[in-house]
Amino acid sequence: MPKFYDTKDTFTDSAAEYALLSAVRADPELLFRLKDSLPSDAFPTYGGTWHELSAAIEGKNPLPALPESPAMGFTAPPSDPVGLADHLATLTRSRRLTALYDRLGAALHGGTLTDPTALATELAEGFGAVASGFRESDMERLQWASGLLPKVLADAAARRESGRAVQGLQTGLAGLDTQLNGLTVGITLLGGGPGMGKTAAAFQWAEHVARVEGVPTVYVTFENSPQNLVERLLASKAGGSLESIARGTIGEANLKQAANDLTQTLHRVAIIEGTSRLTVAGLKGKVRQAMNTCATTRALVVVDYLQLWAKASKELAGRRDVRERVEVLGAELREMATALGVPVLALSSLNRDAGGYGKGNSKATLDALKESGDLEYMADVVLLLNQGEAMVTTPDKSVELTIAKNRNGATGTVSLIFHPNKMTFTEGKKVTEW
């Protein structure tokens, strides 16, 4: 099957490659300034020379001679090596785009399209990577604290000028947001027993982030259908219960008003119905897609919930121990959160008889996270839903949201009231720090 584009000829600048090689050879310190902004495939013509030169500089070995110059005027080091590096990075993105186009064309016209879902996931990941540049390089590159200080100061000034009380994404529960400084980049675990409202809390926070913060939310569900989640939200906004939606007993006017109120919000809420084929790499591509669609560098990711994904995953099928699966999944999600610069809210079940209504009266603690292994150590924040000390008006329930771990702040408890008919939480009266 012929390629639609000859990417090497169309998006290759051999002279620019050679010019940058010349500059780095003349000033080896340039390597450490430029290497992190250049992908590994930025030198299609002189890739071997680039890697040889890089290895020699990093190993403090004699520098190799460069091959003969391909064009006049590029034998001397250029005056703008940073501009050349940006130019080569742009060409690399273009080559990757055309390669993805060829991949799609070959599948559609070459008779190899056997799994459209897998191909779509592959392409979404690829297009997302191109859209976000080469951000992953920040995770492993050497970053001097002196270079980060201006950004920290700029962020602080922006928050001061905007009047934002918290740094991260707000859940809408003021006491919790103050304690946590919002949902920040990394992993936040939300644990609770059956009937404690984990999904209700997570979806309520996701909707708040989309509505108030204007930030896209990608919600991965392994327990409820996407339609069911939207029905829950619609019922809560309409002042009814999920049952009233199911039975058709809620007023039409209330439904229409609720639907109208949600119109401006739900286009920023994307729901993925989890299957055994879903991988963290695939999820990363979908999150990038959502960020690109909404023209933002921020997002919230919700996983509902960890243990179900770990048990269902075909990718982790070789690991028989569920505890190990959960650990691997948690590690991959944390890497994704750091790479994309987004908070991940991951729901977790608890061991039996810990903190749940009708399932025992003991308060849930960190060791109650079911099949968690080292997950609690990996998480930046751990929140646990526990039965409150006193019941309020039936069927509402008093809930204590325990902040069992907070890497960057205080632990404590936040008093909440769970309204199971409306599947929503409201704040109680007290916030206690430990």
Query: Quick one: what percent of the chain has pLDDT higher than 70?
Result: 81
The 10s digit of each residue's pLDDT in 41-99 is 889 999 999 989 988 988 888 998 888 766 544 445 567 888 888 889 889 888 888 88
Question: Tokens standing for 340?
Answer: 């994309």
pTM (2 decimals)?
0.69
Residue 200 · residue 162 · CB < 8 Å: no
Interval 28-42 mean pLDDT: 80
Confidence check: pLDDT of 119 > 70: yes
Confidence check: pLDDT of 3 > 60: no
Question: Tokens standing for 276?
Answer: 């055994």
Give dist(CA 17, CA 85) in Å, integer: 9
The 10s digit of each residue's pLDDT in 126-183 is 776 676 555 444 555 666 787 778 878 887 787 777 777 788 999 999 999 999 999 9
Which domains, and CATH codes, for the chain? 7-140 (1.10.860), 167-433 (3.40.50.300)
∠ CA 171-177-179, rounded to 5°: 150
Closest CA to 268 of 214, 224, 231, 229: 214
Higher pLDDT among residues 125 and 1, named by residue = 125
Give dist(CA 365, CA 376) in Å, integer: 10
Measured CA to CA in angstroms, residue 280 lies from 115, 406, 411 at distances of 19, 24, 29
| Mean pLDDT of the chain, nearest integer | 81
The 10s digit of each residue's pLDDT in 214-229 is 999 999 999 888 888 8
